[in-house]
Amino acid sequence: KAGVTQTPRYLIKTRGQQVTLSCSPISGHRSVSWYQQTPGQGLQFLFEYFSETQRNKGNFPGRFSGRQFSNSRSEMNVSTLELGDSALYLCASSLSSVKSSYNSPLHFGNGTRLTVT
């Protein structure tokens, strides 16, 4: 069974540009979450989608947005890039249903490493 696939693996962008990252979850997984990882802030939750609906959002500015398609694939977009957006962006998928009342670990992809110059 294929794991979570994130594309691209590496990106270099200039301040002010925008970027779109893609995530394909494990087959059958309907929940997709995004995390930002930086040396200074660690792992921070960005947002979570389930059945094309955003059901939770972290404390990030509106420049960060995402969406989920009917096949559960997800994209996140960052507009007007800033130097501080340089990070590893991790996507994770899960089997969980609407109510996470049982053990359903997140399965992560390899991440997209974004560098903003």
Partner 1 sequence: AQKITQTQPGMFVQEKEAVTLDCTYDTSDQSYGLFWYKQPSSGEMIFLIYQGSYDEQNATEGRYSLNFQKARKSANLVISASQLGDSAMYFCAMRKLGGATNKLIFGTGTLLAVQP
Triad 25, 5, 69: Cα angle to 5° = 45
Residue 75 CB, nearest distance to partner 1 (Å)?
18
Site for partner 1 in 24-83 (CB under 8 A): 31, 33, 35, 42-43, 45, 48, 55-56, 58
Residue 19 CB, nearest distance to partner 1 (Å)?
17
Q: Which listed residue (85, 94, 114, 116) binds partner 1 by CB under 8 A?
A: 94
Contacts of 86 (CB under 8 A, 6+ apart): 38, 114, 115, 116
Residue 54's φ and ψ, nearest 5 degrees, are -80, 120
Q: Which listed residue (7, 104, 115, 117) binds partner 1 by CB under 8 A?
A: 104
